[in-house]
């Protein structure tokens, strides 16, 4: 009965992004309910807004990118991730179909490159790639183009020469322009390893440590639900997953959704555990890009805990 | 153009430049609608308009039909309308009240004038996260956003409307020993009424904008939420369907305002 | 016979009442005014005099009947007429000078010439020194005088005047009356002149039309004034012919006013 | 000696001119009005009559001099005065009935009683049948009559009237004049009455004050009118005493008007 | 309260309820400012206000100082102001023009009335992607967004202002044989001027809102871009610094509008 369920308010920074899919899928397959939770998902315009909402107390838990827990430490706030459901970041650096002559990162110098918003994970990702390649990040003009239709339009019309994008936007473009040039595709493990030298966490559930301390039971239940969902996810085909998702999240083009899901499947972690190397990679990346974060000496141990996910794995008998 | 409304007794002569006839107006309105929609549909069919970005009228109609049949839309619409109406009422009442106070108390107006202008120039949408902070992710933050839009529109018009009062009429009431309250009620408010109503037409739209944008930035339900989600999955049809439905509803509310205006301003000479 | 300047045939005007009924203000009036005549219109307050002028000006269309101006049916604004309104009608955002020259500007008269002519007219109505005042800074009588200059400067073929002098003191009024007669004498325009002052009506006009009390005002009397021209508006009031005419019309008018009062007063 | 109802001491009023200078309208006027007297004020158009009434009403503060009402220095609105404005001053958003009862409503008279008294007054000014009309649907004279009822109904101790009857036809005007005299006879209020009609001034008033032509208008003459009361406004004009007084004041006034015209006209 | 402005010749009597003196007003304005800023700073110091969300006045001032010194801000400010001013001018001119046309041509008004209301009720921010699609990521899309906000505010007020013209004054001009153009120029426009200016005060703020929000959603420079970047890295200080600076600039522009208004409306009785 609903009365027995604890209500948890989860803020998502853009529910349409496939990177956050497990959050919604858990609701659809009844994983939250099974674990005694009633989850209310609020959709926010971006990850930073979701984070702000949690810090301000209007939501309990964020389903968002892990890197925010790193960035926020520079502001003397601590947020702790307790389930990492993406083991790859899913960021793609694609070249506009209108632009010719861009074959490598070097060719981007002096060009306009779109990111979802200046200062966002996509922005940092771009700068990290450039720096790693030995280019000056200041040599490209960064333009905020959002994540969805705006980004697609900007690429299609050649308003930007390249852009960092996420799915399903990448798949939309790939379907329309089959030969789309991708300079980096971290939806694949290979590219992720090449770029970051290890797994690199994308979407996680995180919350303030004192909330976790006060809500051990609920946190564990969330972790349990999430790991169950991940297991379910890997046990089903993209078509079956798409069938479970609500229409408004699948959108009008089911084929496209399934296609996007296919390329995203590798992204989802089967265990919900954080890879320490990956977490450290995030800190390194951001310390390089942002002097404030470098100064803050981010404490890795505060940014995540594998305690809950490990317990969930144990319950389900998953071997790590 | 006539000096006043005349009674047409049927046998009468033709009257020059009368109000356009209702049936003609309706016919033209429908014509405009049909032309626009047909152009859109045709443009999409011929590939001039990319349906990926602009959808198709037929799809939108189908989507609206689907929503109405499944009842998917009602709870979202109800939330958005409640927010918009609350924002409208709160913004209007506070705008009129502050407009009155500022117009009547010169010192207040002089001192706070720059502050009001600064607030009016603040991009509220950027402040939305702060509003969410204060008011949470529920209705309150959307209402607050709407109020920040409505307030200024109503405020500036009320303020100016009050200052437009005919000084002779005002002096007449003062000589008839109207108290300050009575002056407000019997002179300033009725005199400013045309101004206030003019701002209401703009602000009902902005109240809805506030609600929808607020939901768009962060919410768990409402039209803005629906639209944001649809935008995230490239469902342009739903985006347009949501926008069109809300506009239609505002149109109905605005009609109500128009009726009220006609009643309250029936004392004015018709032009 | 020449075509009359103004010809009203069986005019009826009704207004809607707040309660949804109809209020017949003018009931079946016919009136011809020959070109070049000076007609004064008198009648009790609220009987429909201004309404009649609005009809001739083309600002109002009758429910029944036709109006012809110089033989042409009137549709829209009467392009031959100048109108001095009963109410304040100066453009509040224009100075006295700009207001007075407005009609000339509208007709495309060059600015210099218009200014010069306007200054002359401002002098004639005694407002020299107030050229650059906005209307709200003038006294009631001064506003009226500015309006007089504004409507006279364009020298229309038909001049409609609604109580032009009632806001003026006796002396100023005589000056303005003399001015009007001089003007009329020169150019022989057609004048329709509403006044509450019967003496003024007789002193100025060729013909005095008495309207009956409303509702459904009719023409109660129509008196030719055969007094010699040119007239001295001050002296003429002592003329025995004037006095006799006054007595006649007054008797007529008094009945009307009494009736209107019987309907309205007490 | 009793305290005067209105006492003006060495009043000077200046207005800013558009060019930035100052225009002295009233120059050093002193005027005492005893309680219960009926004072008529005459003077050339634009000399400052309305300005003087605005001063007494407390709507305008003089640059120099003091005004006392019943011995008390006037600050802000004059609470003892009712004011019939020269311009249209009815509330356009109120019907005739609501306009007339406005003063009573402001004073907290119960609605029923106020309505009833307003209806009586509407009848007295001959507007029965027009109670539910908005002002813009009335003729000029009817609006003026509604305004008269509006200002008289509250029966103020001091009644300020600025050309109340000039928009009325001769007969209605006589009715209203008689009405005013009756009212005044009953309650002996203090009346300040501006008119352009010298006959009216003498027929009604205890005292006729003649203002000089502006700028810096002064009191040119101050004539007591000793005619017997009660008076019949129509008959009294034939009284030899009346005629003599008229001649005297007229001579005085004419000089003023001539001077004002010399400054302004031509 | 006085019927009109009097000349104070120094020797004169005290005048009741004169305009509040300028120095007093300035003093009070500064007082309000100081109190607000002090409360904010103190609140942050005492922990009542979380500087993470609201920053501190001292930090904001330091940030603004830094921007001014390094010149970091100027190009962004220039872009935003250009966009806002363009939006303001285009929106105002088109709003006034349409308002005039609608008020004068009854059929036009009757037929397009519902469409205008629908457009007014559309949440423009959601349409921003479409505007970007049409106008690109440069200035044009921001200007367009600003125009969609400014237009309606000016339009509704102009429309109403024209209808408020005194019928007697209008008839007088017509009897003086004003052509339709002349009627517009000499009667309708001056008469509606107070209405139009009232809407300008609101719309200059909205022009800026349009520019900043447009940049916020997608741009390579401008204050909105700066703010979006700062919000992305939780740099509240820069967010507030950006907002405050833009507001200050709007204040200056609004002051200019106010001057112009005073000049153009110098014919009105002062209350
Ligand atoms: N626009 C209108 N709507 C309805 N009734 C009107 C309108 N204009 C005038 N009337 C009515 O028509 C009648 C005649 O008005 P009109 O102004 O012609 O009178 P008038 O003879 O000029 O009076 P006055 O001497 O007082 O100016 C009045 O009863 C008035 O109430
Ligand atoms: N608000 C004002 N500002 C400047 N000047 C004014 C103002 N009000 C009146 N005046 C000037 O003061 C003078 C006297 O005006 P006032 O209205 O008192 O005249 P009046 O004697 O009532 O004239 P009338 O008989 O024409 O009504 C006029 O010259 C007028 O221009
Ligand atoms: Mg009339
Ligand atoms: Mg006067």
Nearest to E103 by CA among E166, E35, E155, E37: E155
3-state secondary structure of A207: strand
Judged by 3 or more CB pairs under 8 A, whether A touches D is no
pLDDT > 60? residue A9: yes
- In chain E, residues with a C-beta closer than 8 Å to the C-beta of B198 are 156-157, 159-160, 195
Distance from Cα D50 to the centre of ligand 2, integer Å: 7
Q: How confident is the model at residue E222 (pLDDT cuts 50, 70, 90)?
A: confident
Are B234 and A152 spatial neighbours (Cβ–Cβ below 8 Å)?
yes
E213 within some domain: yes
What's the Cα-to-Cα distance from A78 to each of A83, A163, A223, A304, rounded to whole Å?
Answer: 16, 31, 19, 10
D257 pLDDT tier (thresholds 50, 70, 90)? low
The closest ligand to the CA of D49 turns out to be 2
Q: Is E269 in the pocket of ligand 2 (CB under 6 A)?
A: no
Q: Where are the beta strands (DSSP E) in chain B?
A: 218-219
The response to whether residue D263 sits with its C-beta less than 6 Å from ligand 2 reads no
Residues E38 and E138 in one domain: no
**What is the number of CB-based contacts under 8 A between chain C and chain E?**
71
Higher-confidence residue of E122 and B162: namely: B162
Kindly state whether residues B118 and B196 are assigned to the same domain.
yes
Pair (B27, B75) in one structural domain: no
Q: Give the C-alpha distances (Å, rounded to integers) separating E75 from A77, E32, E246, E253.
A: 33, 32, 13, 18
Task: Please compute Rg for chain C using Cα positions.
Answer: 19
pLDDT digits (tens, 9 = 90+) for A175-202: 888 888 888 888 888 888 888 877 788 8
Q: Is C14 within 8 Å of chain B by CB?
A: yes
Q: Is C140 in the pocket of ligand 2 (CB under 6 A)?
A: yes
Among protein residues, the one whose CA lies closest to atom 7 of ligand 1: D137
CA neighbours within 13 Å on the CB side: how many for D125?
29
Say yes or no: CB of residue C151 within 6 Å of ligand 1: no
Give the DSSP H/E element, type plus range, for residue E257. helix E236-264
Q: Is C115 on the interface with D (CB under 8 A)?
A: no
D47 close to ligand 2 (CB < 6 Angstrom): yes
Question: E106-134 burial, b for 16+ CB within 10 Å, e for fewer?
Answer: eeebbbbbbebbbbbbbbbbbbbbbbbbe
Q: What is the pLDDT of residue C149?
A: 92
- Does B40 contact A at CB distance below 8 Å? no
What's the mean pLDDT in A61-72?
Answer: 86
Q: In whole numbers, what is the pLDDT of chain D averaged over residues? A: 87
Q: Smallest Cβ distance to C140: which of D86, D258, D261?
A: D86
The reported pLDDT for the residue numbered C1 is 56
D58 contact residues in E (CB cutoff 8 A)? none
Q: Chain C 220-249, CB below 8 Å of chain E: which residues?
A: none
Query: Least CB-CB distance to E7: which of D63, D65, D75?
Result: D63
Find where tokens 């607050």 sit. Answer: B144
CATH number at residue E234: 1.10.3720.10
Task: Looking at the structure, tell me whether residues E191 and E94 fall in a common domain.
Answer: yes
Q: Which tops the pLDDT comparison, E130 or B185?
A: B185
User: For residue A55, which of A23, A77, A82 has the smallest C-alpha distance?
Assistant: A77
To the nearest 10 degrees (0 to 180), the angle between helices B124-135 and B139-163 is: 120
B270 found inside a domain: no
Q: What is the pLDDT confidence band of residue C55, given thresholds at 50, 70 and 90?
A: very high
Assess A52–E contact: CB distance below 8 Å, yes or no.
yes
CB D34 within 8 A of CB D2: yes
Q: Do C14 and B9 touch (CB under 8 A)?
A: yes
Residue C206: which of C184, C238, C174 has the closest Cα? C184
For ligand 1, pick from D132, D137, D165 the residue to mutate: most ligand atoms within 8 Å of CB: D137
State mean pLDDT over E229-247: 83
Q: Which two tokens stand for residue B50?
A: 């990319």
Assess A146–E contact: CB distance below 8 Å, yes or no. yes
Which of the pair, C234 or A261, is modelled with greater confidence? A261
Q: What are phi and psi of C130, to 5 degrees?
A: -110, 15
Q: Is B231's Cβ below 8 Å from some Cβ in E? A: yes
Residue of E nearest to D13 (CA): E6
Instruction: Give D7-66 pLDDT, tens digit per residue.
Output: 998 999 988 887 778 888 888 889 999 998 999 999 888 888 999 999 999 999 998 989
Among B68-72, C124-128, E106-110, E177-181, which is the least confidently predicted range? E106-110
Domain co-membership, B81 together with B33: no
Parallel, antiparallel, or unpaired: how do β-strands D38-42 and A6-12 relate? Answer: unpaired
C11 against E135, higher pLDDT: C11
Of A44, A58, A251, the CB nearest to B233: A251
Q: Is D27 in the pocket of ligand 2 (CB under 6 A)?
A: no
Could you say which ligand is closest to the alpha carbon of residue C173? Answer: 2
CA of D126 to nearest chain E CA: how many angstroms apart? 26
Residue E269 lies in a domain: no
**Closest atom of ligand 2 to CA, residue C169:** 25
* Domain identity same for E205 and E228: yes
pLDDT of residue E242: 87
Specify which residues C15 forms β-bridges with.
B6, C23
Tell me which chains share at least 3 CB pairs under 8 Å with chain A: B, E
- pLDDT tens-digit readout, B97-120: 999 888 888 888 888 888 888 888
Residues 218-277 of A with CB under 8 A from B: 248-253, 256-257
How many other C-beta atoms can be found within 10 angstroms of the C-beta atom of residue C255? Answer: 16
What pLDDT was estimated at residue C33?
Answer: 92
In sequence order, the 6+-apart residues with CB closer than 8 A to the CB of E95 are E150, E151, E152, E153, E154, E155, E158, E199, E203
In chain E, which among 102-141 make CB contacts under 8 A with chain A? Answer: 128-129, 132-133, 136-137
Closest CA to D48 of D183, D217, D170, D234: D217
Higher pLDDT, E128 or A209: A209
Preferred mutation among D42, D97, D140, D256 to probe C, highest tally of C CBs within 10 A = D140
State residue D99's pLDDT score. Answer: 94
pLDDT attached to residue E269? 73
Distance from C-alpha of E133 to C-alpha of E137, rounded to nearest angstrom: 8
Least distant ligand from the CA of C141: 2
Of D139, D141, D144, D164, best ligand 1 pocket probe by most atoms within 8 Å of the beta carbon: D139
Q: What is the pLDDT of residue A255?
A: 85
* pLDDT surpassing 70 at residue E1: no
Closest ligand to the CA of D197: 2
The DSSP element (H or E) to which A42 belongs, if any, is strand A37-44
E177 reaches D (C-beta below 8 A): no
Task: Please state the rounded mean pLDDT for residues B119-141.
Answer: 79
Looking from the CA of residue D53, the nearest atom of ligand 2 is: 18
CA B151 to chain centre: 12
Q: Tell me the per-residue pLDDT of A150-165, one tens digit each, with 9 for 90 and over.
A: 788 888 888 888 888 8
Residue A169 has pLDDT above 60, yes or no: yes
- Residue B269 placed within a domain: no
Cα separation, D81 vs D189, whole angstroms: 10
Q: Mean pLDDT across the stretch E228-251?
A: 83
Cα(C257)–Cα(A8) distance, rounded to whole angstroms? 85
B with A: 3 or more CB pairs under 8 Å? yes
Q: Are the CB atoms for C46 and D141 separated by under 8 Å? A: yes
For ligand 2, whether the C-beta of C138 sits within 6 Å is: yes
- Do E162 and E256 lie in one domain? The reply is yes
Across D177-201, average pLDDT: 89
Rounded to whole angstroms, the Cα distance separating B216 from B224 reads 4
- Kindly state whether residues B137 and B212 are assigned to the same domain: yes
Which chain B residue has its CA at the smallest distance from D81's CA?
Answer: B175
Contact present, C55 and C8 (Cβ < 8 Å):
yes
Q: Which residues of B touch C65 (CB under 8 A)?
A: 13
Task: Give the helix ranges, DSSP H, for C81-169.
Answer: 96-106, 111-124, 140-152
Q: What is the DSSP string of B58-110?
A: HHHHHHHHHHHHHT-HHHHHHHHHHHHHHHHHHHHHHHHHHHHHHHH-HHHHH
On the question of pLDDT at B261 being above 90, the answer is no
Residue D36 near ligand 1, beta carbon < 6 Å: no
Contact A290 E233 (CB under 8 A): yes
Q: To the nearest whole number, what is the mean pLDDT of chain B? A: 82
Give the mean pLDDT of E49-68. 86
- Least Cα distance to D208 among D218, D196, D223, D194 occurs for D223
Can you list the positions of beta strands (E) in D150-244?
158-162, 190-194, 207-211, 219-224
**pLDDT value at residue E236:** 82
Residue E236 lies in a domain: yes
The answer to whether residue E13 scores a pLDDT higher than 60 is no
pLDDT at A20: 87
pLDDT at B85 over 70: yes
Q: What is the pLDDT of residue C262?
A: 61
Same domain, E37 and E137: no
With contact defined as beta carbons under 8 Å apart, do C43 and D169 qualify?
yes
What is the rounded average pLDDT of the residues C216-224? 87
For residues E172 and E67, membership in a common domain is answered with yes
In a domain, B156, yes or no: yes
Residues E117 and E249 placed together within one structural domain of the fold: yes
B47 — pLDDT class (breaks 50, 70, 90)? confident
pLDDT digits (tens, 9 = 90+) for A47-63: 777 888 888 888 889 88
* Whether residue E155 sits in one domain with residue E115: yes
Ligand nearest to C-alpha C168: 2
Cα(C43) to centroid(ligand 3), Å = 10
Q: Is residue B230 part of a domain?
A: yes
Give the residue, B23 or E18, on which the prediction is more confident. Answer: B23
Cα of C141 to ligand 2 centre, how many Å?
9
Q: What is the DSSP string of E94-114?
A: HHHHHHHHHHH-HHHHHHHHH
Ligand 2 site, residue C141, Cβ cutoff 6 A: yes
Note whether D137 contacts E: Cβ–Cβ < 8 A: no
Chain B, 202-221: which have a CB under 8 Å from a chain A CB? 216-220
Distances C234 to D24, D247, D258 between C-alpha atoms, Å: 33, 15, 15
Most confident of A95-99, A199-203, E92-96: E92-96
pLDDT band at D184 (very low <50, low <70, confident <90, very high): confident
Which one of C86, C124, C141 has the shortest CB-CB distance to D265?
C124
- The span from the CA of B165 to the CA of B155, in Å, is 16
Taking contacts as CB-CB distances below 8 angstroms, the residues of chain A near E52 are 55, 75-77
**Is B64 within the bounds of a domain?**
yes
Give me the domain span that covers residue E26.
2-46
Domain count, chain E: 2
Q: Is D61 on the interface with C (CB under 8 A)?
A: no
Length of chain C: 266
The yes/no answer to whether this complex scores an ipTM above 0.95 is no
Domain end point (choices E10, E30, E46): E46
């Amino acid at each position: 009965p609903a009365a027995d369920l604890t209500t948890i308010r989860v803020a998502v920074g853009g529910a349409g992004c496939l990177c956050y899919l497990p959050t919604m899928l858990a609701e659809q397959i009844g994983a939250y309910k099974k674990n005694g939770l009633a989850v209310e998902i609020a959709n926010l315009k971006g990850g930073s807004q979701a984070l702000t909402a949690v810090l301000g107390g209007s939501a309990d838990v964020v389903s968002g990118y892990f890197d925010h827990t790193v960035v926020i430490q520079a502001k003397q706030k601590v947020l702790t991730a307790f389930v990492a459901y993406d083991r790859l970041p899913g960021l793609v650096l694609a070249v506009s179909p209108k632009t010719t002559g861009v074959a490598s990162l070097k060719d981007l110098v002096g060009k306009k490159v779109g990111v979802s918003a200046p200062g966002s994970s996509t922005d940092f990702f771009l700068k990290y790639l450039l720096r790693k390649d030995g280019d000056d990040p200041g040599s490209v003009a960064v333009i905020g183009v959002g994540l969805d239709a705006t980004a697609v339009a900007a690429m299609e019309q050649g308003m930007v020469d390249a852009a960092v994008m996420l799915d399903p936007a990448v798949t939309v473009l790939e379907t329309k322009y089959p030969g789309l040039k991708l300079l980096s595709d971290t939806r694949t493990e290979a590219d992720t390893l090449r770029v970051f030298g290890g797994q690199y966490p994308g979407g996680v559930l995180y919350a303030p440590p004192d909330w976790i301390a006060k809500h051990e039971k609920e946190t564990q239940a969330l972790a349990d639900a999430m790991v169950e969902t991940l297991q379910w996810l890997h046990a089903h085909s993209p078509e079956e997953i798409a069938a479970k998702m609500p229409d408004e999240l699948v959108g009008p083009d089911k084929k496209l959704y399934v296609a996007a899901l296919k390329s995203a499947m590798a992204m989802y972690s089967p265990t919900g555990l954080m890879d320490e190397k990956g977490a450290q990679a995030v800190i390194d990346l951001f310390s390089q890009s942002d002097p404030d974060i470098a100064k803050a000496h981010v404490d890795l141990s505060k940014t995540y805990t594998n305690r809950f996910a490990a317990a969930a794995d144990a319950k389900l008998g998953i071997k790590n | 153009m006539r000096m006043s409304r005349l009674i047409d007794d049927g046998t009468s002569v033709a009257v020059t430049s009368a109000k356009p006839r209702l049936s003609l107006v309706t016919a033209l309105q429908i014509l405009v609608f049909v032309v626009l929609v047909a152009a859109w549909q045709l443009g999409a069919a011929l590939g001039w308009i990319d349906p990926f970005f602009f959808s198709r009228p037929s799809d939108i109609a189908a989507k609206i039909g689907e929503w109405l049949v499944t009842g998917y839309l009602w709870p979202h619409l109800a939330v958005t309308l409640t927010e918009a109406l609350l924002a409208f009422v709160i913004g209007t009442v506070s705008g009129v009240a502050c407009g009155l106070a500022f117009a009547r108390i010169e010192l207040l107006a002089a001192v706070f004038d720059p502050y009001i202008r600064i607030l009016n120039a603040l991009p509220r949408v950027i402040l939305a996260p702060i509003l969410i902070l204060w008011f949470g992710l529920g209705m309150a933050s959307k209402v607050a956003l709407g109020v920040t839009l409505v307030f200024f529109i109503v405020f500036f018009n009320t303020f100016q409307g009050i200052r437009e009062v005919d000084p002779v009429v005002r002096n007449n009431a003062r000589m008839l020993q109207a108290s300050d309250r009575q002056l407000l009620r019997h002179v300033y408010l009725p005199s400013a009424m045309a101004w206030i109503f003019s701002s209401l037409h703009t602000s009902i739209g902005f109240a809805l904008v506030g609600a929808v944008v607020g939901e768009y930035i962060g919410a768990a339900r409402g039209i803005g939420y629906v639209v944001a989600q649809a935008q995230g999955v490239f469902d342009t049809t739903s985006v347009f369907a949501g926008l069109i439905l809300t506009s239609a509803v505002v149109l109905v509310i605005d009609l109500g305002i128009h009726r009220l205006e006609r009643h309250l301003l029936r004392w004015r000479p018709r032009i | 016979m020449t075509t009359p300047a103004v010809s009203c045939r069986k005019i009826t005007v009704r207004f809607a009442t707040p309660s949804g009924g109809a209020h017949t203000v003018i009931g079946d009036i016919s009136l011809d005014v020959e070109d070049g005549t000076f007609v004064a219109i008198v009648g009790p307050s609220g009987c429909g005099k201004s309404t009649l002028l609005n009809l001739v000006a083309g600002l109002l269309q009758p429910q029944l009947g036709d109006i012809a101006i110089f033989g042409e049916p009137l549709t829209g604004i009467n392009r031959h007429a100048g109108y001095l309104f009963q109410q304040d009608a100066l453009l509040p955002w224009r100075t006295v000078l700009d207001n007075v020259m407005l009609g000339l500007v509208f007709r495309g008269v060059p600015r210099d010439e218009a200014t010069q002519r306007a200054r002359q007219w401002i002098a004639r109505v005694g407002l020299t020194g107030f050229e650059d005042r906005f209307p709200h800074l003038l006294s009631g009588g001064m506003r009226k005088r500015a309006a007089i200059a504004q409507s006279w400067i364009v020298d229309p073929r038909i001049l409609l005047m609604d109580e032009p002098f009632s806001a003026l003191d006796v002396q100023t009024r005589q000056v303005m009356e003399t001015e009007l007669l001089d003007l009329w004498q020169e150019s022989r325009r057609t004048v329709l002149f509403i006044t509450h002052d019967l003496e003024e009506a007789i002193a100025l006009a060729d013909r005095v039309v008495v309207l009956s009390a409303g509702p459904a005002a009719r023409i109660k009397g129509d008196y030719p004034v055969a007094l010699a021209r040119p007239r001295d508006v001050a002296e003429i009031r002592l003329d025995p012919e004037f006095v006799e005419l006054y007595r006649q019309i007054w008797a007529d008018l008094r009945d009307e006013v009494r009736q209107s009062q019987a309907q309205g007063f007490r």
